[in-house]
Amino acid sequence: MELNGQPAAPEALRALALTNYGHFTTMRVDDGRVRGLGLHMERLGRDCREVFGAQLDPEWVRGLVARVVPGEGSCVVRVTVFDPGIDLGRPAAHATPHVLVTVRAAAGGDGLPPLRVKTVPYVRDAPAVKHVGLFGTLRARRAAQLAGFDDALFTGPGGLVSEGGTWNVGFVRGDGAVVWPEAEVLPGVTMALLREGREGREGREGQKGNEHVVAPVTVEDVRTMRGAFATNAAVGVRGVAAVDDVRFDADEAAPVLDRLRESYARVLGEPLR
């Protein structure tokens, strides 16, 4: 764990514990490369302007990440941007963003069992920002787990499905099309890479693959789907076995999920160094 390229002192992290105002991105690093690295850097810059009204140098951040990751093997890196000088009383004070880089072991996405999720009415504050305010998210996840599920799937007004706590959700329609819910959600990097990969292959090969569409999905619509999956940078594509009392036949969606995983595996990681 390093703050601005130096060992993080406890007093410097006090603002994260007490004020908890900031934003972050999470990246999986494989042999020194990150899928969608440019998109992660764009997110950090965009969110820094939104949260702090300040600019963030992507090359500086890239160098900070490169300092702490091994050249070989896999890990998950979280880059958190916050200002130790901002407190509860003066959140509008001039901000000097600091960058905290932490590393944890990477889990194998393909080896993880499919999720069983419970719909929970909840809309994150500023959904388009990947911010550190996770109380509502964790409270929803806790409620789902206490009810016997693995995680929560958020729904908004009108019963519209939006996203998971730390992942985007996609559905497999009866005709094999991939449906991304039209709702206020975090624009996930993995979701973007899956959609770009599909479009790029069609353009190069002149072959039509599985259609990707963005459309409203209600809780009732979920009953008509062949399958569902979760995506984020840490796990790639992970199947969803059930939403509430709706159970999906793993074989029904398997061909589409396999193609999504293959598409994601073909995305070339960008080097950190």
- Please tell me the distance from the alpha carbon of residue 240 to that of residue 220, in angstroms, as a whole number: 16
Tally: H helices and E strands in the chain: 7, 16
Structure tokens at 108: 């194998």
What pLDDT sits at residue 112? 87
Name 78's Cβ contacts closer than 8 Å, sequence gap at least 6: 24, 25, 26, 27, 101, 102, 103, 104
- Contact yes or no for 118/152 (Cβ under 8 A): yes
Class of the CATH-defined domain 2-105: alpha beta
Give the helix/strand (H/E) hosting 64. helix 58-68
Nearest to 84 by CA among 13, 4, 172, 142: 13
Give the helix/strand (H/E) hosting 59. helix 58-68
Domain limits, CATH 3.30.470.10, in the chain? 2-105
Full-model pTM: 0.92
pLDDT by residue for the chain (273 residues), tens only, comes to: 999 999 999 888 998 999 999 999 999 999 999 999 999 999 999 999 999 999 999 999 999 999 999 989 999 999 999 999 998 999 999 999 999 999 999 976 567 899 999 999 999 999 999 999 999 999 999 999 999 999 999 999 999 999 999 999 999 999 999 999 999 999 999 999 999 875 444 433 333 446 999 999 999 999 999 999 999 999 999 999 999 999 999 999 999 999 999 999 999 999 998
Name 167's Cβ contacts closer than 8 Å, sequence gap at least 6: 188, 230, 231, 232, 235, 238
3-state secondary structure 139-203: HHHHHHHHCCCCEEEEECHHHEEEEECCCEEEEECCCCCEEEECCCCCCCHHHHHHHHHHHHHHH
Name 29's Cβ contacts closer than 8 Å, sequence gap at least 6: 65, 69, 74, 75, 76, 77, 106, 272
What pLDDT sits at residue 192? 97
The amino acid sitting at 272 is: L
Structure tokens at 136: 């509502």
- Contact yes or no for 181/212 (Cβ under 8 A): no
CATH code, 115-267: 3.20.10.10
Domain limits, CATH 3.20.10.10, in the chain? 115-267
Residue 47 class from Cβ within 10 Å (0-12 exposed, 13-18 middle, 19+ buried)? buried
